[in-house]
Chain A
């Protein structure tokens, strides 16, 4: 049981390049989330999904796109990276139908630097 995993762990991009971050969970969770963490600003929600094939905007969605083609995977895309997107990105998942727990389980994070 790996929990929530993220790929890659580190990445350096040049301005204008694109990339995709992959999140995978093996807990049969319905909900998945992408956050960014910047110094002094806590964790801010970028996009989230309440089930396979669904996505929705969070607090800071501009410049990012997401897809949830399979229940266990949630992809975060940057089409044209900007230095302002330098951050640590965390994926999380939660909620199994029929179970009362609401805990969000986080992945290990991806440290992204945009030059």
Chain B
């Protein structure tokens, strides 16, 4: 089955700096890559996703890049703010109509310091 590895496990940045979180996946058939943000004690919420027919997607301060050949994708957060502090999870899935099951990475604890 699919295996998703995520690095780093913790990341501390100064407010206003950029943050980058990287993930690799094992199944070349995976074609959907979402990123979820989970604040302490809350539910995971989708912040951005990308399909395999696109190399990059941006939404304001958040961007995701995908390298299908290398089987890795990354989350980029620019101009970080204290409210960006949370745990971020990457995931991968094969969209086939058979449930779109997500395999998650182990998460990155991002701390944005003032």
Fill in one digit per residue for B85-114: 1 if any A CB lies within 8 Å of its CB, else 0: 000010001010111111111110000000
Q: What are 25 A-B pairs with beta-carbon distances under 8 A?
A: A31-B99, A33-B102, A42-B106, A42-B107, A43-B44, A43-B89, A43-B102, A43-B104, A44-B104, A45-B101, A45-B103, A48-B99, A49-B99, A50-B97, A50-B98, A50-B99, A58-B101, A95-B100, A102-B32, A103-B49, A104-B100, A104-B102, A106-B43, A106-B44, A107-B43
Let me know if B101 and A48 touch, CB within 8 A: yes
| Interface size grouping (class) on chain B | 20 to 34
B interface, over-half SS: loop
The chain A residues found within 8 Å of chain B, CB to CB, are 31, 33, 40-45, 48-50, 56, 58-59, 90, 94-95, 102-104, 106-109
Cβ of B106: which chain A residues have Cβ within 8 Å of it? 40-42
| Minimal Cβ-Cβ distance residue in B for A91 | B43
Please report the C-alpha to C-alpha distance between residue A49 and residue B98 in the assembled complex, in whole angstroms. 9
Q: How far is the CB of A49 from chain B (nearest CB, A)?
A: 8
Q: Tell me, yes or no, whether B46 is within 8 Å of chain A by CB.
A: yes
Q: How far is the CB of B58 from chain A (nearest CB, A)?
A: 18
Name 14 extra pairs, CB < 8 A, besides A33-B101, A50-B98, A58-B101: A31-B99, A41-B106, A42-B105, A43-B44, A43-B89, A45-B102, A45-B103, A48-B99, A50-B99, A56-B99, A90-B44, A104-B34, A104-B46, A106-B44
